[in-house]
Structure 1
């Protein structure tokens, strides 16, 4: 049987874990105020603090056999000692994750100058298909050209009138 003080600590830890789970599932409504070292609490810091306080306090209460007010206070102190660095790390990690630098999203303007190969012949007044590398990945696009270009010919993109079509010229 779990002692009542331990059960209370476990419920507090479970509440912290539940808050974190809801926050991770995208419940932006839980955002209290954004923290950037020194501001009010964020959802991540509250969840980290409650989780570490509750579970740390539960472990300490069981180890100490907390039945007296002094032992309960010691268990709560151990819970706080676990909770403060956990909340700080939660704030720092969530700040880092929100502000991680990323590359710009490629646009169709980035297609201009790309080189590739014809995978479906391009007729005189129609569309064929080409494969180019775009954003590091092979991409197949519809292609037009001033002159017919045969299967397997190497091309470069001179214009991108839409996200799925390009105007190309044959490489000599």
Structure 2
């Protein structure tokens, strides 16, 4: 077995451990935000396997080493970029009643003239349900527009133009 294959296998083991064990052995705290164990494993494995591939094509030791280092730098950079993207890629918060103002909704429980019913708002993959009050009675199934917030769980609504005609 060539030294490049041993290096490649060692890098693959480091990469596998970083994927299975996560941040347990991550050395990000030592090297900053741009470095991760996954990037190190990717670099070492690409260096080894790239060098072994270059040797298999008949290149000499120095040329194979340069090919391995180049492959390692590319894969290591990509792994670092991908790791940073995953770690810093935040998710949107669940929308609340204040966010629902201006959105269209559907009445699911009839809204009496001087009381509360219920509506559902569908937005960004979320199905939100609020108590709702309107200036006139609205039957279930009516398309409405959220016009204001009464509390974190209650909103005011008005029928959409299509429902009024």
Q: Smaller-chain TM-score range?
A: 0.5 to 0.7
Q: Tell me by how many angstroms 1:103 deviates.
A: 7.1
CA distance, structure 2, for counterparts of residue 22 and residue 85 of structure 1: 21
Over 3 Å counting, the alpha-carbon distance change for 1:94 and 1:155 in structure 2 is same
User: Superposition RMSD on alpha carbons, in Å?
Assistant: 3.5
Aligned to 1:68: none
Q: Look up the SS of the partner of 1:90 in the other structure.
A: helix
Structure 2: unaligned runs, 5 residues or longer = none
Q: Look up the SS of the partner of 1:152 in the other structure.
A: coil
Q: Which runs of 4+ in 1 moved over 6 A?
A: none
CA distance, structure 1, for counterparts of residue 116 and residue 15 of structure 2: 52
Aligned to 2:14: 19
State how many pairs are aligned: 155
Aligned to 1:153: 142
CA distance, structure 2, for counterparts of residue 160 and residue 21 of structure 1: 52
Aligned to 2:123: 134
Aligned to 2:26: 31
Aligned residues of 1:155 and 1:168 also touching (Cα < 8 A):
no
Partner of residue 46 from structure 1, selected from 35, 40, 63: 40
Over 3 Å counting, the alpha-carbon distance change for 1:26 and 1:61 in structure 2 is same
Partner of residue 117 from structure 1, selected from 75, 96, 106: 106
Over 3 Å counting, the alpha-carbon distance change for 1:127 and 1:83 in structure 2 is same
CA distance, structure 2, for counterparts of residue 149 and residue 54 of structure 1: 70
TM-score normalized with structure 2 length: 0.67
Q: Which deviates further from its counterpart, 108-117 or 140-149? A: 140-149
